[in-house]
Amino acid sequence: MVLAMGLKARDSLDTPWFYRSVELNLETPAAHAVELVGSMALSSVRKDRELRIHESLDDLSTDLADYIAEISEASVKERGVFAIALSGGSLIGLMGKLCEAPYNKTVDWAKWYIFWADERVVAKSHVDSNYKLAKDRFLSKVPIIPSHVHSINDSVSAEEAADDYGFVIRQLVKSRVISVSDISDCPKFDLILLGMGPDGHVASLFPNHSVLEEKDEWVSFITDSPKPPPERITFTLPVINSASNVAIVATGESKAEAAHLAVDVIGSDLPPVPAGVVQPLKGKLVWFLDKAAASKLDAGTQFSA
C-alpha cells in the first residue's frame, strides 16, 4: 500500500522541509511516499528525511536496532570504524535490542567509538549521568573496547568540560576515527542519536537558548538548563547537522505536540523548536516515533491493518 504526500498550494519545492505544509493526496505521484510496512509501521520517505511510525515500543526498538546495525556495518566497511554519539533518557532503553541476538554476535563491536551528543556535568557515578545510564543499560552488555568510549571530564567546570571534549574530538578527527565534513571543518559522525523532550529540545539545545546560535564551537556548555541538572555540555547544531546520519527518537503522548511542531508546518511567525532545525547538510535524518508521539502530525499518519 503506497500513499503520497503532496505539497499544499502555498509551498514550493524550494521551501525547506521543516517549513512545508503537507496534506494526504491519493492522486499525487509517489515522489514523497508513505508506505505501510506490514502492519507494524508507516514509513514516510523523502530525499532528506524519513519518518518511521510504529504501533508499539517493541516494534520501534527492533527497527532502531536494525537501523543502527546497518549503519555500523556500512561505516565499518567504508572507513574501518563506526563513530556514534549517544544521548540520554529513554533512548538508551530503546537501544536494548542491540544487546540481544543476533546483534550482540553480528555487530563488529570492536570498531565502535562512543561519544555523547550531550552530557550532564556530574560525576560519572551520579544518577543523572548519561554515561552511567549508557554504561548500565547498554555498554556493559556488549563487547565495546573501553578505550573507545569517550566520556567527558567530570572533574572540571562545564566550560572546561566542553573545551576538553572539543579537544578530544579534534584529535580523533585528525586521526580519522571521526570523519570531517567536506563542506565545513566540523566533525562528521557516522551516526548521532537524539531523543526529544516535550519542549522539542534535542541534546541540550533548549528552545530560545543562546546556545542554539553557536556557530564556531563544536561543543558548547550551558549552566542554566531549564531541567535539572543545570550544568551540561552539548554538541552544537553545526556538528549535529554535519553528521552522515541523525536519528531523532520520540515516544509517548507528551512528545506529540513537539513532534508536530518539528515535523509539520508551523507559521512563519513562530520559531521552530530545536528538533525542527536538525537537518543534516549532506546526510540523512530519520525520525522514530511511536503512535502516541505521532498522534498530532498533519501528514496522514494513520495505521491500518
pLDDT digits (tens, 9 = 90+) for 79-95: 999 999 999 999 999 99
Query: 53: buried, middle or exposed (CB in 10 Å: 19+, 13-18, 0-12)?
Result: buried
Q: Express each pLDDT in 121-143 by its tens digit.
A: 999 999 999 999 999 999 999 99
Q: In whole angstroms, what is the distance from residue 15 CA to residue 242 CA?
A: 20
Q: Which CATH number belongs to the domain containing residue 129 in this structure?
A: 3.40.50.1360
Output DSSP code: residue 60. H
Whether residues 149 and 241 fall in one domain: yes
Give the span between the Cα atoms of 284 and 17, in whole angstroms: 13
Question: In this structure, are 37 and 64 located in the same domain?
Answer: no
Please tell me which residue, 119 or 264, carries the higher pLDDT value. 119
Same domain, yes or no: 173 and 266: yes
Same domain? For 80 and 21 the reply is no
In this structure, are 193 and 52 located in the same domain?
yes
Per the CB < 8 A criterion, the answer to whether 258 and 199 are in contact is yes
If asked whether residues 277 and 295 sit together in one domain, one would say yes
Phi (first) and psi of residue 238, to 5 degrees:
-60, -35
Per DSSP, what are the bridge partners of residue 232? Answer: 120, 222
pLDDT tens digits, residue range 23-63? 333 232 333 333 333 334 555 555 578 999 999 999 999 99
Whether 34 and 56 map to the same domain: the answer is no
CA–CA separation, 259 vs 70, rounded Å?
25
Do both 224 and 159 map to the same domain? yes
Interval 241-255 mean pLDDT: 98
**pLDDT for the residue numbered 99:** 97
If asked whether residues 26 and 164 sit together in one domain, one would say no
Give me the domain span that covers residue 255.
48-301
The predicted structure's pLDDT at residue 300: 52
Quote the pLDDT of residue 96. Answer: 96
pLDDT for residue 35: 37
Instruction: Report the alpha-carbon angle 276-280-284, nearest 5.
Output: 100
271-296 pLDDT per residue, tens: 679 999 999 999 999 999 999 999 99
Q: How confident is the model at residue 265 (pLDDT cuts 50, 70, 90)?
A: low
Tell me: do 14 and 144 sit in the same domain.
Answer: no
Closest CA to 253 of 39, 41, 57: 57
For 121-169, the DSSP string reads: SS-TTSTT-HHHHHHHHTGGGS---GGGB----TTS-HHHHHHHHHHHH
For residue 184, the model assigns a pLDDT of 86
126 and 240 part of one domain: yes
* CA-CA-CA-CA dihedral for 5, 15, 195, 41, to nearest 10: 10
**Alpha carbon distances (Å) from 113 to 38, 79, 278:** 34, 12, 23
Q: Predicted confidence band at 164 (pLDDT cuts at 50, 70, 90)?
A: very high
Do you find a cis peptide bond into 207, omega within 30 degrees of 0?
A: no
Q: What pLDDT score does 15 carry?
A: 34
Q: What is the pTM of this model?
A: 0.85
What share of the chain has pLDDT > 70, as a percent? 80
Identify the band that residue 298 occupies on the pLDDT scale cut at 50, 70 and 90: confident
Q: How many domains does the chain have?
A: 2
The pLDDT value given to residue 183: 87
Q: Cα separations (Å) of 10 from 6, 15, 160, 265? A: 12, 10, 47, 11
Contacts of 205 (CB under 8 A, 6+ apart): 118, 211, 212, 234, 236, 237, 274
- Which cell is 84 given? 556514534
Instruction: Tell me: pLDDT of 228 over 60.
Output: yes
What pLDDT sits at residue 271? Answer: 63
User: What is the pLDDT, as a whole number, of residue 22?
Assistant: 32
| Whether residues 78 and 157 fall in one domain | yes
pLDDT per residue as tens digits for the range 183-219: 888 999 999 999 999 999 999 999 999 999 999 999 9
